[in-house]
Structure 1
Amino acid sequence: MSFERIKEKLNILADAAKYDVSCSSSGSKRTNTNKGLGDSSGVGICHSYTEDGRCVSLLKILMTNYCIFDCAYCVTRKSNDIKRAAFKIQEVVDLTINFYRRNYIEGLFLSSGIFKSADYTMERLVAVAKKLRTEEHFNGYIHLKSIPGASDELMYKAGLYADRLSINIEIPTISGLKLLAPDKKHEDFIRPMAKVKNEIVQFKAERKIIKSTPKFAPAGQSTQMIIGATGESDKEIMYSATHYYKKYQMKRVYYSGYVPIADDERLPALGSQVPMLRENRLYQTDWLLRFYGFQVKELLNDRHPNLDIDVDPKLGWALRNLDFFPIDVNTADKAMLARVPGLGIQSVHKIVSARRFRKLSWEHLKKIGVALNRAKYFMVCDSARCEHRDLEASTIKGKILGNSVGKFRKEHSTQLKLFA
């Protein structure tokens, strides 16, 4: 096949893959052996980013954009009038190796539209990974997108060759999936997830006994939800995400704002789009749940079903729970320190270590790197009592937002003058 045709396919299928954001590559450690190609290090692969902030690391392509399904939210749905293309198995292998040798990429993220059947499609994805590992001795990072409804046998094979597997749950709720993708079944997403989770657990247990046991999807599995295509609240989204973290041991849940692609009465109107800020707030909430000890019901509940857009979720929680504050930075435990707006986990560890030697003052906290423009409203230290103890939540919020705007203007004064 001519170079021009390969280039055309690459343009079509790389562009179609941009809607999938679940391509994080951290967590795998595949050592290069036998003079093979590539090395997937434990700290992950370098990423590049598009102008709108989406991660597009690795060689990120679809095997094909032909699809037997007609999901309303998907650009590759069968009823959409778009240019179609499909790679052969060897073409993907050759592209990956050639791009790697030219230092364009460090790995492969391979997804696909579903053509003929789930098993037929998944079999081709697995064949690419197998050829790369066994014939090309490629030790770089491979992320395969699992196909809903694929058999347990194929999921098992995929885990032997891929570093990470992911299957997009697509819509956060079962009712939303039925509305926008009536041809798909929720259980077709769940069964591959359960298979991968069980195999990871089993392989890890076997490796403790037999060191030569091969690795199975060493970077785990992830999933993605489309946000804003249906009317789920942030509360419903985060409860759904928490379910997948706990039951299927997900490494990551990704939140992708719906991009209007069709004039369909079931979907938001063309021209409307989920703001990037909502995505950001969901990721911040996800982080608080996984690393800061928060529960979903603390951040999102019937009284507050959606996240504040103007403040981050930790600050929003603190403003709604001022009776917990102020705390004493010299005596509070780690769990409570982590709930103070402006204190990250690293700052908490620094504070706990430093206060073993002396009581901390505002100056000490500044040197540690604490964002005092927020934290000062919620804690006291050795040098002063909390000056803001009796302020209303709305007043504190206004002061913090005012300080943030003022800081932004000060840091970007030159640029702002150019546009004045």
Structure 2
Amino acid sequence: MNYDRIKEKLEILADAAKYDVSCSSSGGNRKNTNKGLGDSSSSGICHTYTEDGRCVSLLKILLTNFCIYDCAYCVTRKSNDIQRAAFTVEEVVDLTMNFYRRNYIEGLFLSSGIFKNADYTMERLVRVAKKLRLEQNFNGYIHLKSIPGASDELMREAGLYADRLSMNLEIPTESGLKLLAPDKDHQQMIKPMGFVKNEISLYKDERKKFKSTPKFAPAGQSTQMIVGASPETDLQIIQVADHFYKNFSMKRVYYSGYVPVSNDARLPGLGSQVPIVRENRLYQADWLMRFYGFKADEILAKNNPFLDLEVDPKLGWALRNITDFPVTLQTAPLEMILRVPGIGVKSAYKIVNARKFQNLTLEHLQKMGVATNRAKYFIVVANSNKNLIHLDSVHLKNLIVGDTKSKFENPFSNQTSLLNDDTFLR
């Protein structure tokens, strides 16, 4: 093996993979069997943070950065003058096993440009996963990126060896995709999403009857949208995400702020990178839809289609609906408690349970993890200052934003903490 050449390929293809953020393994539960290597658990694997705060690692590479498509927003587009490389199936397997044995990684995220055609590329991705499982007895996490246009047979085989499959929607709307990637259409991406959803359901039903039935993509499927390469509003983006959560049982929708890679006139200028805070706000809005009972049309409206970059979307909703407050925590339904800024999901359930036995105070709420410096403006408890509830929404926003800035020198400097710490949604 030419190790210098392998190292060169790794540098090229790992760098090219950095634009794909759709690589969480949350929900995987593959167990180590037959004295194999690795173990994928529900805590998650890749360069991300789990729910318990652990940072976990993943070998994240492209099989190749050659591509037959010329998508304006993609660094690997065929017209881009970049250094090209491609791994063989055996090279990816060897890299994964060697990195795992050295404790560098806990799993593999494998994507690819499309060379020759969809089936040719997808077949190689599947071979990597199959060799790892059957020949190397590898039980760690494997995430495969599905290739638009690949056959159902290959997609089915991929789901039997991978923990998660993902198909990137790329641009949120069909019109935006046609503008920037005229060789593609959303149906190429939506069709395999529907196939994977149905196969997951079929295999789950079959396992109820026969325990020997193999699992199919046990960590589900995910997708990713590029934000800011095309002119979609935040409302359009979260409506699309909401559609895929409801109709395709999507585990996660990821949002990737556009990074300028071209001076193509169809794209924003090279100096106009999407602010990281916009990406963060979309993740927070996504969190509200998934865990807090919000609908996309509640978070934003046609006359207000962009998220406020100064405040998180939950606080933004509360300020726009100030007449729904204050909420009396002693008697309010769980659904309304979840809408109080400063109260997270776990704290909301603690409140509902604790109020059966005592009249709650601010001190009680603090012990439950409530951000009372924010929640106090929107609630009534035994010792709350009711005078504060008479502030109008403009003054209240300024008061809370000022208080936040005094505690955090730059509240948007750490992307990871915003995506994983519920305090910015509470």
Coarse TM-score class (shorter-chain normalised) = over 0.9
Partner of 1:82: 82
1:416 aligns to what? Answer: none
Structure 1 equivalent of residue 372 of structure 2: 372
Please name the residue that 2:407 is paired with: 407
Please tell me the residue identity of whatever aligns with 1:73: Y
Residue 369 of structure 1 and its aligned partner are, at CA, apart by 2.2
Report the secondary structure of 1:240's partner residue.
Answer: helix
Q: Please say if 1:275 is aligned against 2:275.
A: yes
CA–CA separation in structure 1 for the residues paired with 2:340 and 2:90: 53
Q: Distance in 1 between matches of 2:402 and 2:6?
A: 53
- 1:291 corresponding residue in structure 2: 291
Which residue number in structure 2 is paired with residue 66 of structure 1? 66
Task: Look up the match of 2:420.
Answer: none
Q: CA deviation at 1:385?
A: 5.0
C-alpha contact (below 8 Å) 1:23/1:56 kept by paired residues = no
Structure 1: 5+ residue stretches without partners: 50-54, 412-420
Q: What's the counterpart of residue 417 of structure 1? A: none
- The alignment partner of 1:17 has SS state of helix
Separation in 1, partners of 2:10, 2:82: 15
CA distance in structure 1 between the aligned counterparts of 2:220 and 2:410, rounded to whole angstroms: 43
Could you give the per-residue CA deviations for residues 18-37 of structure 1, whole angstroms, max 9, x where no partner exists?
00000001111111111111
Distance 2:285 2:200 in 1: 27
Contact 1:21 1:56 in 2 (8 A): no
Give the direction of change, closer, same or farther, for the CA distance of 1:48–1:244 in structure 2 (3 Å limit): closer
- Greater Cα offset, 101-110 or 350-359: 350-359
Change over 3 Å in CA distance of 1:258–1:122 after alignment to 2: same
Q: Distance in 2 between matches of 1:12 and 1:364?
A: 54
What's the counterpart of residue 396 of structure 1? 396
Q: 1:393 is matched by which residue type in structure 2?
A: S
Gaps of 5+ in 2: 50-54, 412-426
Alpha carbons 2:376, 2:384 under 8 Å: kept:
no
**Residue aligning to 1:247:** 247
Q: CA deviation at 1:329?
A: 1.2
Provide the C-alpha distance between the structure 2 equivalents of 1:183 and 1:48, rounded to a whole number of angstroms. Answer: 33
Structure 2: how far apart are the matches of 1:56 and 1:270? 33
Q: Which amino acid aligns with 2:374?
A: R
In 2: Cα distance, 1:170 partner to 1:221 partner: 15
Q: What is the DSSP-based 3-state SS (H/G/I as helix, E as strand, rest coil) of the residue aligned with 2:242?
A: helix
TM-score relative to the length of structure 2:
0.93
Q: 1:171-190 deviations in whole A, cap 9, x for unaligned?
A: 00000000000011221111
Q: Who is 2:190 aligned against?
A: 190
AA aligned opposite 2:370: V
Work out whether residues 70 and 77 of structure 1, in 8 Å CA contact, stay in contact via their aligned partners in 2.
Answer: yes
Deviations for 1:329-361, whole angstroms, at most 9, x for unmatched residues? 111111100000000011111111211111011
The Cα of 1:383 is off from its aligned counterpart by 2.0
Cα distance, 1:7 vs structure 2 = 0.2
Correspondence for 1:33: 33
Identical residues among aligned pairs (%): 69
Deviation at 1:224, TM superposition (A): 0.2
- Aligned equivalent of 1:263: 263
> 1:25-50: CA deviations, max 9, x gaps?
1111111111111111232226358x
CA shift for structure 1 position 389: 2.4
Do the aligned residues in 2 keep the contact of 1:92 with 1:128 (CA within 8 Å)? Answer: yes
Q: Shift of the alpha carbon at 1:128?
A: 0.4
Q: Distance in 1 between matches of 2:353 and 2:387?
A: 26
Q: In 2, Cα distance between the equivalents of 1:25 and 1:94?
A: 22
CA distance in 2, matches of 1:410, 1:86: 41
Q: SS at the partner of 2:47?
A: coil
Deviation sequence 1:91-126 (CA, Å, 0-9, x none): 000000011000000110000000000000000000
Partners in 1 of 2:408 and 2:248 — Cα distance? 41
Retained in 2: the 8 A contact 1:146–1:166? yes
Take 1:186 and 1:371, find their aligned partners in 2: how far apart are those partners? 42
Separation in 2, partners of 1:172, 1:56 = 29
> Normalized against structure 1, the TM-score is what?
0.94
Alignment of 1:93-172 (within 5 A): 93-172=93-172
Distance in 2, Cα, partners of 1:75 & 1:316: 35
Aligned counterparts of 1:209 and 1:35: Cα–Cα separation in 2: 27
Opposite residue 377 of structure 2, the aligned amino acid is: Y
- Aligned residue number for residue 236 of structure 1: 236
Q: CA deviation at 1:365?
A: 1.6
Please state how far the C-alpha of 1:362 moved relative to its aligned partner: 1.6
Contact 2:44 2:56 in 1 (8 A): no
Q: Is the 8 A contact 2:12 2:84 kept in 1?
A: yes
| Deviation digits for residues 392-412 of structure 1 (CA, Å, limit 9, x no counterpart) | 10000011011112223599x
3-state secondary structure, aligned to 2:142: strand
Q: d(CA) in 2 for partners of 1:137 and 1:410?
A: 46
The offset of 1:59, in angstroms, is 0.4
* Alpha-carbon distance between aligned partners in 2 of 1:272 and 1:399, rounded to the nearest angstrom: 31
Using the alignment, how far apart are the partners of 1:312 and 1:111 within structure 2?
32
- Asked if residue 348 in structure 1 is aligned to residue 342 in structure 2, the reply is no
Q: Is the 8 A contact 1:119 1:154 kept in 2?
A: yes
How far apart, in 1, do the equivalents of 2:408 and 2:313 lie? 20
Q: How many residues align?
A: 406
Q: Name 2:200's counterpart in structure 1.
A: 200
Which AA in structure 2 matches 1:180? L
Q: Does 1:179 align with 2:179?
A: yes
In structure 2, do the counterparts of structure 1 residues 375 and 88 end up closer, same or farther at CA, with 3 Å as the change threshold? same
- Provide the alpha-carbon RMSD of the alignment: 1.5
- Aligned residue type for 2:223: T
